[in-house]
A = this chain, B = another copy of it.
């Protein structure tokens, strides 16, 4: 199905449930998709950071896209990450995920390789030229170690290279430049500007963003759907209250002991523990070499859920 232009609303970056031996847990993945669709989200994004895409083998990635596509049918648009180091490797993923049914692909700038703005532009132009579906840029400096420049994004949008941006940079000022540019610049009609932040979705929508891709929407999709609806109704006060409730819930990402594990292990472990505690998935395990949460840390996730009224 064609991706709306622009794509609006809540687009959860779907977690990838795993079995205890770290294979994709297909029944749990289907239950998670139902959990999200039933909450009224607008599209799904698989194989992003919240999906542990960096930890999934190519076979697992294909299985995820195929499973979600088959279960979703044409009900909602399906975006898929094509996370890899450089153009030739990304193009292999583009072929793979579009064959499995992705309606759009989401690509970062090159990483690991030393890069340059001219090479980033060249990368997106090549990916778009060989992709049969629209290409979204994924700005994630914490992983990619460069920041996508607003001007570059708008130039690639105007040239029809990029169909949208998922901005997880945390820099709302640069995000605004893309939002405003996408509205005012000739040739950029229909470009989708999506925030990847969990914490300022109301702010992003207020300044004109099309939608949001918050990892925490796995845990509480209803909350983000409510924010989106309240913002569209112009009820900023209640949107803010809902956002503040979700900010408190987001505190769960810090349950893991930083002496024992990285912030990624803690955050993804917390999301999966929450999905497990809410009965959505069968096993909270994360991919290797992430360190699992302790029993006490999982209990603290439960307290966050209880406080947010989710248990």
Contact = CB atoms under 8 A, between A and B. Distances in A.
A71 interface: no
Given A114-B264, A206-B240, A289-B123, A22 B88 contact: yes
A62 B236 CA distance: 45
Contact of A199 (B56, B170, B173): B173
B145 A173 contact: no
Interface in A58-94: 58, 60, 83, 85-89, 91-92
A18 to B, nearest CB: 10
A247 B111 contact: no
Interface string A239-254: 0100110010000000
Contact of A203 (B56, B57, B206, B262): B206
B122 A291 contact: yes
Contacts of A265: 116, 119
Contact of A145 (B56, B145, B240): B145
Interface of A: 22, 54-58, 60, 83, 85-89, 91-92, 110-116, 118-120, 122-123, 126, 142-145, 170-173, 176-177, 180, 197-200, 202-203, 206-208, 236, 240, 243-244, 247, 259-265, 287-291
11 contacts: A54-B86, A54-B112, A88-B287, A111-B112, A113-B143, A170-B170, A171-B171, A176-B200, A200-B207, A206-B206, A259-B259
